Amino acid sequence: MRTKQNKLLNAFELFILFVAMTMAVSCGPVDSSPDLNEGYPLERPDVNPEAYPVEPLPTHTGTLLALDRPIVPNQTVISGVGPAGLTVTVMNITFLGEELGSAIISDDGTFSIDVNPLPAGVRIGVTADLAASGMTDADVRPGDGEVSTPRVGYFFDSVVIPQQN
């Protein structure tokens, strides 16, 4: 009886081997070095670069909305420039958008906000609701510290208050 089981097992093993070999032959050779640039051509001479145009960065031509610098630890007045009539709010970005104060930008394009003494090492930023003032993104140009912080918001300008030496 053992020999009958061995013959059946050998026949089954041969069948499995036959199926595996048939599948391997029908699949053809396997490429072990896939082209990593296949989805998007990177410096490939055979691809027309105009087929994948690069979107230009937006150009801001409006009035600058920015904080005056430098801002130092223990400072109690935050000032800046922006479009006249726009209401701006200065926030502590480090503390999840804690409002420090707000003001309406004067006709001469400046604002000044009294704040509690500012601690070193935090980032503060200036934001504004353009739609409430009837302005659009084209009317305002962000400063060098422009930042968008998840769960806090978008800031036209921001600065980290340096540590004292």
What domains appear along the chain, each with residue ranges and CATH number? 63-160 (2.60.40.10)
Give the separation between CA 118 and CA 120, rounded to whole angstroms. Answer: 7
Average confidence (pLDDT) over 51-78: 84
Q: How large a percentage of the chain has pLDDT more than 90?
A: 55
User: Binning pLDDT at 50, 70 and 90, where does residue 146 land?
Assistant: very high
For residues 143 and 79, the answer to whether their CB atoms sit within 8 Å is no
User: Binning pLDDT at 50, 70 and 90, where does residue 41 land?
Assistant: very low
User: Binning pLDDT at 50, 70 and 90, where does residue 15 land?
Assistant: confident
Identify the CA nearest to 144 among candidates 121, 128, 160. 160
pLDDT tops 90 at residue 130: yes
What pLDDT is stored for residue 22 in this prediction? Answer: 73
